[in-house]
Chains A and B, each alone.
Chain A
Amino acid sequence: MSAAADAHHDDHHGSGYGWKRWLYTTNHKDIGTLYLWFAFVMFIIGGIMALIIRAELWTPGMQITDPQFFNSMTTMHALVMIFGVVMPGFVGLANWMVPMMVGGPDMAMPRMNNWSFWILPFGFGILLSTLFMEGGAPAAGWTIYPPLSLQGGDHVPFMIFAIHILGVSSVMGAINIIATILNLRAPGMTLMKMPLFVWTWLITAYLLIAVMPVLAGAVTMLLTDRFFDTSFFSAAGGGDPVMFQHIFWFFGHPEVYILILPAFGIVSSIIPTFARKHLFGYSSMVYATASIAFLSFIVWAHHMFTVGMPLAGELFFMFSTMLIAVPTGVKVFNWVATLWKGSMTFETPMLFALGFIIMFTIGGFSGLMLAITPVDFQYHDTYFVVAHFHYVLVPGAIYSIIAAVYFWIPKWTGHMYDETLGKWHFWLSTIFVNVLFFPMHFVGLAGMPRRIPDYALQFVDFNQIATIGAFGFGFSQLIFLYLVVKCIKGGEKATDRVWEGAHGLEWTLSSPPPYHSFSTPPEVKAEHHI
């Protein structure tokens, strides 16, 4: 990624050298790189928290944590992974790729782009500082349900302001991405010719703008409940604690699609490249993404079936949730049809993309099971749910980000990565991620609640397997770090096209690309989308 710096020397009109270059940069590639490194650092921090959790759960009894600290770990792990890893990871990829894919010179609003990145470390600085405060870090779960979240100590206002900052950053990033896509497309690049990564990001950006303010509103109400004597969520003052959950999940469900739609776009770029075949059903992919985005606004209460809704409400949310399986199924079937009768090779990005399709689908199946309300009463708040969302987020969202890095890093750095190491990374990750998360289905079904620091004796075996998987998966990621650093430093020279089956504007640029991607708009031929 510092190779981008080399590229930048021949055409230098950026802002300074050393740290100043990174602090003042308004270049989409530099900012993309910052986002991606930020996401990686957070991945390590969130991962350490996960390993603390898994170490405590190695065996029944309290071993290494205090229950309160354990709750802080589950809470912070989630906040860090969602807001610090997956979201910035995707934004980093959008920064790098969207201008190059639509044939623009840079992002539409470069100075705002700088801001949206640079407030992130401050937001996370505030959030992580709560770990060292009296009373510890937030411990009410990432869903911060009141009244529990209001019992917190000094961390409460810090957590809320951190969430505000992260929200502002996301909304600014989203506005920028929308402006770039709508305004900077090369002549001839109609909407229905855009690569799917661009499409999915366009829709994701609208989701972000729609729901981040909702979260900001919800946490602000928590703030005033706590410090200014309002009673939005306190029944004693005429408020309603369940109202918080409705507002939270009105943000939260679209949020889970924010965490997965860009992944769909990435996989839809990688699969055709290595199958050397056009993406099957391009337009149905676009419509499916749009339907998923629409449905995401009318299913929120499936996260809270046990709060005691009226029957009509439960039925509505059950049916609407089941409906999501239809467009999601269309996507998976389209990918399979793309593979079918292709001419496949299995470079690392392809391996991660295939892993994504299979394991994301497993997460989709458990999601469908969870939609069945009467059965959800049994699944809800157990490890079955933990297994479900980790399948869609780890071998789902995280795998797509990893796949994207492998896919585009030769373009970014001008060097090929080490394929052997890449394959090791894939196979170790894939074995361990299943060792880690698959047994959680079993303990969940057998009755183990989530978010508990200690458990009954019958759950011990599967928990130990999961813990082994966790450490294996965690340490396998060091291969990735090593490989990326090695690739930045040097390696076999990458061609412009990089992959034999690659199509799209980004591959027409040199590897690494010039500092300003397309100074003159390229011409888009009929069949550019893929």
Chain B
Amino acid sequence: MKAFTKPAAALVAALFTLAGAADAAWELNMPVGVTKISETVYDLHMLILWICVVIGIVVFGAIIYSVIYHRKSRGAVAAEFHESTAVEIAWTVVPFVILVGMAVPAAKTLVEMEQTGDSDMTLKVTGYQWKWQYEYLDDGVTFFSTLATPREQIYGETEKGENYLLEVDKHVVLPVGKKVRILLTSNDVIHAWWVPDLAVKKDAIPGFINEMWTRIEEPGIYRGQCAELCGRDHGFMPIVVEAVPEDEYKAWVQRMKGATAEASDEGMREWSNAELIARGKDVYASSCAACHQPNGQGMAPAFPAIAGSPVATGPAEAHLALVLNGKPGTSMQAFAAQLSDADLAAVVTFQRNSFGNASGDAVQPAQVAAARN
């Protein structure tokens, strides 16, 4: 019964949304965007669209006209003609000329998009299943950015927020007016980094580095998504770019550096079990739950359960080593570079003492630091 009422309730709720259609919806067209390139791209899009509309009116007009007037029931008698070299040449040449007219501005824009030289800064983006890593190569800032929409919203247990599925824990902050070179690669499968307002989209490919660039003209928050199918949670790895004036950007860089320093301080001290478990719970939710599931039951056969797992109930050293180094050839990735010592200690401790696992032991950040070497 429950299986039925839930979709039924969703259906009713959906009908209401449909009825009271929000004004933000009914978006019909490509965004103009906030870069010079995005505006050019928008103009090209409208140009080709209008060309198609005009040709469409002519062609469909001719069809409709003859359907109305050249029908047998109106007494139309079929004409005899069935060939005309002149006409054939005309409708080969005219479209060709139109295409050339279209190709020239398109080629120009393309050339401009490929000019990744003399940039002011470089952002390296790495795709992971299913999150993005950002490295500011000039400013020494590195972090991961994951979906911030809570699971309860996705599974319909609470109301969906305004930026449902398009919100992340850490924004990519970029200075306005600066030419940002973006390097793309991936840690596992192919992803694609796309922000419509910037008119940039390129694949992040494991083992290769792709390049593109953008120069954002207006401060604001611009949302995008992974565009290349990358597995189970492909729909759940959004991108949020926050464009700010340069001084704000500088301040942000300082704050991020401070946070990194704090994280290394954290790694120095001794933590209590309760502290570790509390912290580990959050780390688990953001870094592990996508595969091992919030209830620790995993998803057979792709993702093993943590509950009762021989690893999570066996020796702590082996458990930690697996999380640090991952398991090559599976989607269990190496978390050594992704999480701090404190986070790693916390999440391992959490897994060993939750979901019915009761090893009672704890892993300290210092042990993680030791295991790294």
Q: Could you tell me which A residues sit within 8 Å of B by CB distance? A: 58-64, 66-68, 71, 134-135, 139-141, 145, 147-148, 151, 153, 234-236, 240-242, 275-284, 306-308, 311, 314-315, 318-319, 322-323, 325-326, 329-330, 332-333, 336-346, 354, 357-358, 361-362, 365-366, 368-369, 372-375, 377-378, 380-382, 442-443, 445-447, 449, 451-462, 464
Query: Within the assembled complex, what's the spacing in Å between the Cα atoms of A380 and B149?
Result: 25
List A contacts of B230 (CB < 8 A).
148
Known: A311-B110, A464-B18. A369 touches B48 (CB 8 A): yes
Whether the pair B103, A322 counts as a contact (CB closer than 8 A) is yes
Given contacts A148-B189, A275-B78, 4 further A-B contacts (CB under 8 A): A61-B153, A61-B160, A241-B190, A374-B113
Which B205-264 residues sit within 8 Å CB-CB of chain A?
Answer: 205-208, 210-211, 224-236
Residues of A within 8 A of B21 (CB): 461
Q: Are B166 and A281 in contact (CB under 8 A)?
A: no
Given A58-B11, A60-B160, A276-B78: A235 touches B202 (CB 8 Å cut-off)? no
Complex Cα distance A291/B160, Å?
52
B67, A460: Cβ atoms closer than 8 Å = no
- Is B59 touching A361 in the complex (CB atoms < 8 A)? yes
- Contact among A283, A318, A343, A447 with B78 in the assembled complex (CB-CB below 8 Å): A343
On chain B, the residues within 8 Å of A366 by CB distance are 52
A61–B10 contact, CB under 8 A? yes
> Across the interface, do A323 and B206 meet the contact criterion of CB distance under 8 Å?
no
A61-B156, A306-B203, A374-B109 are contacts. A442–B66 as well, Cβ < 8 Å?
Answer: no
Residue in A151, A280, A368, A461 whose CB lies within 8 Å of B25: A461
Q: Judging by beta carbons under 8 Å apart, are B164 and A456 in contact? A: yes
Instruction: Select which of A277, A344, A445, A464 is within 8 A of B30 by beta carbon.
Output: A445
User: B70: which of A281, A306, A340, A373 is its contact (CB, 8 Å)?
Assistant: A340
B29: interface (CB < 8 Å): yes
Question: In the complex where A374-B109, A375-B41, A455-B165 touch, is A339 in contact with B211 (Cβ < 8 A)?
Answer: no
8 A-B pairs, CB-CB below 8 angstroms?
Answer: A148-B231, A235-B206, A322-B99, A330-B91, A362-B56, A457-B162, A458-B25, A460-B18
Q: Which residues of A contact B190 (CB under 8 A)?
A: 145, 147-148, 241
Write out the residue numbers on chain A whose beta carbons fall within 8 Å of the beta carbon of B52.
Answer: 365-366, 368-369
Please state if B99 and A344 are interface contacts (CB–CB under 8 Å): no
Q: Of B102, B166, B200, B228, which one neighbours A456 at CB under 8 angstroms?
A: B166
Cβ-defined contact, B14 with A58, below 8 A? yes
Name which residue of chain A comes closest to B27, CB basis.
A446
Closest Cβ of chain A to B228, distance in Å, is 6
Given contacts A357-B63, A446-B27, contact A369 B45 (CB under 8 A): yes
CB contacts under 8 Å to A, within B56-107, are 56, 59-60, 62-63, 66-67, 70-73, 76-84, 87-88, 91-92, 95-96, 99, 102-103, 106-107
A509 to B195, CA, bound (A): 61
Most buried by A among B24, B26, B228: B228
Asked if B154 is at the interface of the complex by the 8 Å CB criterion, the answer is yes
B234 touches A461 (CB 8 A): no
Q: How far, in angstroms, from A446 to B44 measured CA to CA in the complex?
A: 16
| A318 in contact with B301 (CB, 8 Å) | no
A530 and chain B: residue at smallest CB distance = B82
A289 to B163, CA, bound (A): 48
- Among A68, A277, A456, A458, chain B packs the most CB atoms within 10 A around the CB of A456
- Give Cα A368 to B40, complex, Å: 18
CB–CB A345/B72 < 8 A: yes
Contact B78 A308 (CB under 8 A): no
Main secondary structure of the interface of A (DSSP, over half): helix
* B residues less than 8 Å from A456 (CB atoms): 163-166
- A241, A354, A377: the one within 8 Å of B41 (CB): A377
| A341 touching B99, Cβ below 8 Å | no
Query: Could you say which residues of chain B place their CB within 8 Å of the CB of A377?
Result: 41, 113, 199-202
Residue among A141, A280, A375 making CB contact with B229, cutoff 8 Å: A141
> Which A residues lie within 8 Å of B11 (CB)?
58-59
Does B44 lie within 8 Å of A374, measured CB to CB? yes
Chain B residues with Cβ below 8 Å from A372 are 44-45, 48, 102, 106
A308 smallest CB distance to B (angstroms): 4
Per-residue CB contact flags for chain B residues 289-315 toward chain A (1 = under 8 Å, else 0) read: 000000000011110000000000000
Question: Which one of A306, A326, A454 lies within 8 Å of B202 (CB-CB)?
Answer: A306
Residues of A within 8 A of B231 (CB): 71, 139-140, 148, 151
Q: Would B91 and A365 count as touching, CB distance under 8 A?
A: no
**Bound CA span A234–B328, Å:** 13
Interchain CB contact under 8 A, B206 and A68: no
Q: State how many angstroms separate the Cβ of A437 from the closest Cβ of chain B.
A: 15
Is B370 part of the contact surface with A, judged by Cβ < 8 Å? no
- B67 near A71 with CB under 8 A, answer no
| Shortest 4 CB-CB contacts between residues of A and residues of B | A235-B207, A452-B235, A278-B82, A341-B79
Set of chain A residues within 8 Å of B300, measured between Cβ atoms: 134
A277: contacting residue among B79, B109, B226, CB under 8 A: B79
Selected contact of A68 from candidates B13, B49, B302, CB within 8 Å: B302
**Residue B28 at the chain A interface, CB threshold 8 Å:** yes
Assuming the A-B contacts A235-B206, A311-B111, A341-B76, are A281 and B232 also in contact, with contact meaning beta carbons closer than 8 angstroms in the complex? no
- Contact between chains at B199 and A378 (CB < 8 Å): yes
Bound together, the chains give a CA A123 to CA B220 distance in angstroms of 53
B246 to chain A, nearest CB (A): 27
Q: A59-B13, A342-B79 are in contact. Are A447 and B91 (CB under 8 A)?
A: no
Which of A140, A148, A358 makes the CB contact (< 8 A) with B63? A358
A-side contacts of B156, CB under 8 Å = 61-63
